[in-house]
């Protein structure tokens, strides 16, 4: 939703913005074009491959790239000795480059390992969870993070399968889940979608990262600045909606989430589940406490 993000963040020459989810660099590049050489955009990403691509794609633009989680935005800005920024965008979806990387397992039919980590050097890969967790723990994880009604059936089949040949690739998991989840003839979403979502959220600690960022980021945004967040499933969207509603440092600007327009849906069908919410940073008096690890 590039047009909508630019409209709501309204970047101007000389201003400083943060793209907390650099990915392919699309939002960063658009923001950099608006702030000009007198401005600055800091792009964050946990994925070292994304960082490497962005350094080439964004060369010559007023962009500084940080290999860091968006939870660390306050600390990185402090290290760079930068004042609170004019705006922040978080696009919580997967990038096209991640989906195209067959070795990472983000694509359901990828022959490579079922990794699903944004940073391959941090944490446990998804295939490790499938091998280690009990049937109940797997069922609970798939239900909690994927809202998958067939979670118990899927977990049971995973455990039965691993007695002889543990699942190691994305393709193997997708085939197993498709046998467990009935598919409506008119349903466009792959039956494996919810299970993959659950595993990806778990290995990357995504909901905790988002919740903590929503709590910690206001001091990093100037009063009158804006935070724009694009989520792709209800678990993320609920956290954003609740934070914007309940935290007095935010003033919600979008009463309902903004959805992609028809032209974007035709160009990028994967955007169909995107929801954009925007809030403005407000002064609640007494200043803001320094960022903590909480």
**100-204 — its CATH code?**
1.10.150.170
pLDDT in tens, the chain (294 residues): 889 999 999 999 999 999 999 988 999 999 999 999 999 999 999 999 889 999 999 999 999 999 999 999 999 999 999 999 999 999 997 777 777 677 788 888 888 899 999 998 889 999 999 999 999 999 999 999 999 999 999 999 999 999 999 999 999 999 999 999 987 766 678 899 999 999 999 999 999 999 999 999 999 999 999 999 999 999 999 999 999 999 999 999 999 999 988 887 777 777 788 999 999 999 987 544 444 445
Q: Which among 197, 166, 163, 17 has a CA at the least distance from the CA of 89?
A: 17
CB 28 within 8 A of CB 2: no
Whole-prediction pTM:
0.90
The two three-digit tokens of residue 151, written as one number? 């979670």
Domain boundaries, the chain: 2-97+206-281, 100-204
The two three-digit tokens of residue 56, written as one number? 């080439």
pLDDT digits (tens, 9 = 90+) for 132-178: 999 999 999 999 999 999 999 999 999 999 999 999 999 999 999 99
**2-97+206-281 — its CATH code?**
3.40.50.150
What distances in angstroms separate CA 106 from CA 23, 204, 249, one per listed residue? Answer: 14, 13, 36
């Amino acid at each position: 939703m590039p047009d909508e993000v630019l409209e709501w963040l309204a970047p101007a020459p000389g201003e400083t913005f943060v793209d907390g989810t650099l990915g392919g660099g699309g939002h960063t590049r658009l923001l950099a074009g608006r702030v000009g050489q007198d401005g600055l955009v800091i792009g964050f990403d946990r994925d070292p491959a994304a960082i490497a691509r962005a350094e080439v794609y964004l060369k010559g633009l007023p962009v500084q790239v940080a290999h860091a989680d968006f939870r660390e935005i306050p600390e990185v800005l402090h290290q760079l000795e930068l004042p609170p920024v004019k705006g922040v965008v978080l696009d919580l979806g997967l990038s096209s480059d991640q989906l195209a990387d067959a070795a990472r397992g983000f694509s359901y039919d990828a022959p490579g390992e079922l990794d699903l980590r944004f940073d391959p050097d941090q944490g446990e890969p998804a295939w490790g969870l499938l091998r280690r967790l009990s049937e109940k723990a797997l069922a609970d994880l798939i239900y909690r993070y994927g809202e998958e009604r067939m979670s118990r059936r899927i977990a049971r089949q995973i455990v039965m399968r691993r007695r002889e040949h543990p699942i190691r690739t994305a393709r193997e998991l997708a085939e197993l889940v498709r046998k467990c989840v009935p598919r409506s003839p008119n349903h466009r979403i792959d039956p494996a979608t919810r299970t993959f979502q659950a595993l990806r959220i778990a290995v990357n600690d995504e909901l905790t990262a988002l919740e903590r960022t929503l709590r910690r980021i206001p001091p990093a945004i100037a009063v009158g600045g804006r935070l724009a967040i694009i989520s792709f499933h209800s678990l993320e969207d609920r956290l954003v909606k609740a934070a914007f509603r309940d935290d007095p440092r935010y003033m919600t600007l979008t009463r309902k989430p903004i959805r992609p327009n028809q032209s974007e849906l035709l160009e990028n069908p994967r955007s169909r589940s995107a929801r954009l919410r925007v809030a403005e940073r407000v002064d609640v008096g007494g200043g803001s406490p320094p960022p903590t690890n909480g």
